[in-house]
Structure 1
Amino acid sequence: MDFTLTNIPDFLPLAEIEKLQVALLKKQLRYIQVNSPFYKGKFSVEETEGISRISDLSGFFRTSKKDLAERTPEFLCAPKRELVEYVTTSGTTGKPVTIALSKKDLKRLAYNEARSLSIAGFTADDIVQITTTLDKGFMAGMAYYMGLTELGAAVLRAGQGSPEFHWEMIKQIQPTALIAVPSFLQKLGSSPSAFPHQIKKALCIGEPVRNQDFSDNQLSKNIAKYWDLDLRSTYASTEMATAFTECSEKNGGHLLPELIILEILDEHGNEVADGELGEVTVTPLGVEAMPLLRFRTGDLARKYSSPCACGRNTPRLGPIEGRLAQMIKLKGTAIFPSQIEDILHSFPTANPYLIRLESDENGMDAVSIELPETCTHEDMESLLVNLQARLRVKPSLKRSSVSEIQKALFRGESRKPKKIIDTRNGEN
């Protein structure tokens, strides 16, 4: 596929953004029609050529995670000799899936991350310490490294490690910025090894740092106790190979129009109104090896199409508010583990933790929370009061050793902590 990396102006008018996306979408669909065993016969040439606006995409086939997991080889559109990288999904909500990339896909990935990091305020003058893993097929770690070097920044590939190790690196290299999971940023800041430093910004991945209204959530407030940082959030996945990243206004992650089309859909597959909650559904553009069409991420969020105060007109994606697969129905109330986690972040002694989603003896949803032995009885009682007040339901609490919880968090040699165990779907 002839994907040309082009620096798209940040402040394109809305009409120009849609015109660009329609042209790139038609190009992607033509490529998929010719090369994808999975999508063959699922739409016609006439349907492709009939697209004149992005909303016309609504009549096309949607792709599920189940499709990708069960029929992975059928998504491959490039000869194996043209593949240069294999990465895996995190497997947070199921079995990890292997995604293949071509040389052009890698260039696209570097371009995406350089654009995203620039939106987040990173520059060629920064020295950036990456605290996430760069091994075990992790796309994000590789993408950050490639994007930073594309941007011209210096990179310290510290990867995963103890707070003591990272503070030693900070002392030696004196980075100006961090890329980190927010909960680790909190742990790092609270470490006894912490000392005055020159770090001024951080890009947060994997966990939201904003509430639905874009105010700082509890995790973000906890980080602020230890760090004086320009904290930005980014959202991406291995399947979409594209990021939605916050600008200085911190009112949602900006879409990169040359790289992805975003839809927010209800349970019937219909587009919801701007600002309403729905499933994040994406069509990555310019992908060569394993392109996806209308991929259902399973994540729930809101889209905002009004111009941003930063001057950009690109749609923005709000914080991820939950995952469809992890929705719990307790006594008629629908809740998500992310809501429980936000409350847990208010209690320093409730870390680390594990949330178990189960079925009771009547086949109804139940939730229990495993807390460390360091969590006091007083904190547990206060936590229950908070959970009941904010969620209108009362999960059960139990205490375990920190080592037992840590072992469960990194079960199956997971490269990042899996804080939720959903035995309703057969997970052990």
Structure 2
Amino acid sequence: MSQIAYREAQDNRLKYLLSYVSDHSPYYQRVFREHGVDIEAVFKIADLSSLPFTTKDDLAAANDDFLCVPKSRIADYVTTSGTLSDPVAFYLTDSDIERLATNEAESFKCAGGSERDIYQLMTTIDRRFMAGLAYWMGARKMGAGMIRVGPGAPYLQWESIQRFSPTVIIAIPSFIPRLIDYALANNIDFQSSSIQSIICIGEPIRNPDFTYNELGKRITSQWNVKLFSTYASTEMGAAFTECGEGKGGHLNPDLLILEVVDEQGKAMEEGGLGEVVVTTLGVEGMPLLRYKTGDLCHVYYSPCACGRTSPRLGPVVGRKQQMIKFKGTTIFPPAIFDVLDMVREVELYQVVVSKNEFGNDEITVLLAMHLHTPAFREMLHSLFKSRLRVTPVFEFITAEELSLRIFRQEKRKPEKLIYI
């Protein structure tokens, strides 16, 4: 689809969305009234700037007011991960679940998938996790197979790979080095396995220039597989997925209107870094208008070499709420992770951000006790100094305690970062 064609299609979908929320959303009815919004004056995406943003705080404060259908029509109840605040509820109708399936089927195809593939899911499909359901539904819609193993359990992962010969793994990328280490320790010939590619969720594997970051390098230096980045959230109910070119996650223009804006709300130009803002299309239960995700990405509007013409997003540089001001330097957590991922000896870590008595940010990195040697501490100190110009505090605890802190039973994904 050409850029002109998809933009015209989005203009029509936007008109329908504005009419829909005006008729059915208590939250947007109130916002339109308070801000004097005339939806008849919004003809196309270029007019979106006349509408106010929706924020995470709005969603948390008036959660159920975003619901556009009676609760008797809700088919699935999910929540956000609650990384920085209490989880927010999202209600999905049958139509919304079908939309999830469509999104994921198209995302799999973007990453080179087909009905001939077998996917092994290394994330949870329960615990109110929207993405796990989406992956399974997407594979079904595409006609592919799915092995639902869930997170962790390296033995079961390899047993499933050896028994069922999946071609694609869906996983949080920081789990893959653990999977490789288990294979090496147990004489499993992982290089000759059926796995051809890994769909990476929840963490970046690339730098802003699309080269692999340290985690991406760590995986690909050991295992001859293709890596595909994805970026998604519960709120958008859709994903930006890389194609084989590896130059950013592609927008599905049937499901989202994308804006990337600066601090003043002005649209960023080609390659600019700004906050990702989405307007959801085709959502029946809880549609969102101009939702500020808090995620900072570079945006690209030029056509991709793969032939797709919709905008692309680079890897998440950081979240606005997670910006750390430490010893005169501004740091986002992924930069800290990248340094730690350079060190092969570091299998697990947790970054703890706190405030000192003067209200300034402090960073503590928790590591396994067996690494606690003067030489190792000095090496880490030098590495952080050279890469980030500042050095956090290092604390060492037992591997068991560290694992329990990171892989908490009540959480859906590893807690590599916590705020206290």
TM-aligned CA deviation for residue 412 of structure 1: 7.2
Q: Deviations over 1:146-191 (max 9, x none)?
A: 0011001011111123111100111111111111110112211221
Task: Specify the SS of the correspondent of 2:345.
Answer: helix
The answer to whether the Cα contact below 8 Å between 2:268 and 2:299 also exists between their aligned partners in 1 is no
Structure-2 residue corresponding to 1:148: 139
TM-aligned CA deviation for residue 46 of structure 1: 7.0
Q: Distance in 2 between matches of 1:158 and 1:412?
A: 16
400, 403, 406: which is aligned to 1:406?
A: 403
The CA RMSD measured in Å over matched residues stands at 1.5
* Mapping for residues 153-302 of structure 1, pairs under 5 Å: 153-191=144-182, 192-193=185-186, 194-195=188-189, 196-302=192-298
Q: Which amino acid aligns with 2:337?
A: E
Structure-2 residue corresponding to 1:26: 15
Structure-2 residue corresponding to 1:139: 130
Structure-2 residue corresponding to 1:317: 313
State which drifts further: 43-52 or 342-351: 43-52
Q: Deviations over 1:71-115 (max 9, x none)?
A: 111111011121110111111222111211001001111001101
Q: Which amino acid aligns with 2:29?
A: K
Q: Distance in 1 between matches of 2:158 and 2:15?
A: 49
TM-aligned CA deviation for residue 411 of structure 1: 4.4
State which drifts further: 263-272 or 199-208: 263-272
Structure-2 residue corresponding to 1:3: none
The answer to whether the Cα contact below 8 Å between 1:210 and 1:217 also exists between their aligned partners in 2 is yes
Q: Distance in 1 between matches of 2:136 and 2:155?
A: 22
Which consecutive segments of 4 or more residues in structure 1 shift more than 4 A?
Answer: none
State which drifts further: 61-70 or 207-216: 61-70
Structure-1 residue corresponding to 2:340: 344
Q: Distance in 2 between matches of 1:399 and 1:266?
A: 40
Q: Which amino acid aligns with 1:17?
A: Y
83, 99, 115: which is aligned to 1:108?
A: 99
1:65 paired with 2:56, answer yes
Q: Which amino acid aligns with 1:40?
A: Q
* Mapping for residues 69-148 of structure 1, pairs under 5 Å: 69-148=60-139
404, 412, 416: which is aligned to 2:413?
A: 416
1:371 paired with 2:367, answer yes
The answer to whether the Cα contact below 8 Å between 1:347 and 1:379 also exists between their aligned partners in 2 is no
TM-aligned CA deviation for residue 50 of structure 1: 2.5
The answer to whether the Cα contact below 8 Å between 1:326 and 1:422 also exists between their aligned partners in 2 is no
TM-aligned CA deviation for residue 380 of structure 1: 2.5
16, 35, 52: which is aligned to 2:24?
A: 35
Structure-2 residue corresponding to 1:7: none
Task: Specify the SS of the correspondent of 2:17.
Answer: helix
The answer to whether the Cα contact below 8 Å between 1:349 and 1:376 also exists between their aligned partners in 2 is no
Q: Deviations over 1:335-368 (max 9, x none)?
A: 1111000010011222311111111222111111
The answer to whether the Cα contact below 8 Å between 1:300 and 1:321 also exists between their aligned partners in 2 is yes
Q: Distance in 1 between matches of 2:328 and 2:266?
A: 25
Q: Distance in 1 between matches of 2:38 and 2:241?
A: 32
The answer to whether the Cα contact below 8 Å between 1:62 and 1:296 also exists between their aligned partners in 2 is yes
Structure 1 residues 160 and 124: CA distance shift in structure 2, 3 A: same
TM-aligned CA deviation for residue 41 of structure 1: 3.5
Q: Distance in 2 between matches of 1:141 and 1:411?
A: 18
Q: Which amino acid aligns with 2:220?
A: A
Q: Distance in 2 between matches of 1:69 and 1:51?
A: 27
The answer to whether the Cα contact below 8 Å between 1:279 and 1:300 also exists between their aligned partners in 2 is yes
TM-aligned CA deviation for residue 123 of structure 1: 0.5
Q: Which amino acid aligns with 1:74?
A: D
Q: Which amino acid aligns with 1:262?
A: L
Task: Specify the SS of the correspondent of 2:241.
Answer: strand
Q: Distance in 2 between matches of 1:406 and 1:65?
A: 30
5+ residue gaps in structure 1?
1-11, 424-428
The answer to whether the Cα contact below 8 Å between 1:349 and 1:374 also exists between their aligned partners in 2 is no
The answer to whether the Cα contact below 8 Å between 1:102 and 1:289 also exists between their aligned partners in 2 is yes
The answer to whether the Cα contact below 8 Å between 2:79 and 2:130 also exists between their aligned partners in 1 is yes
Q: Distance in 2 between matches of 1:63 and 1:41?
A: 13
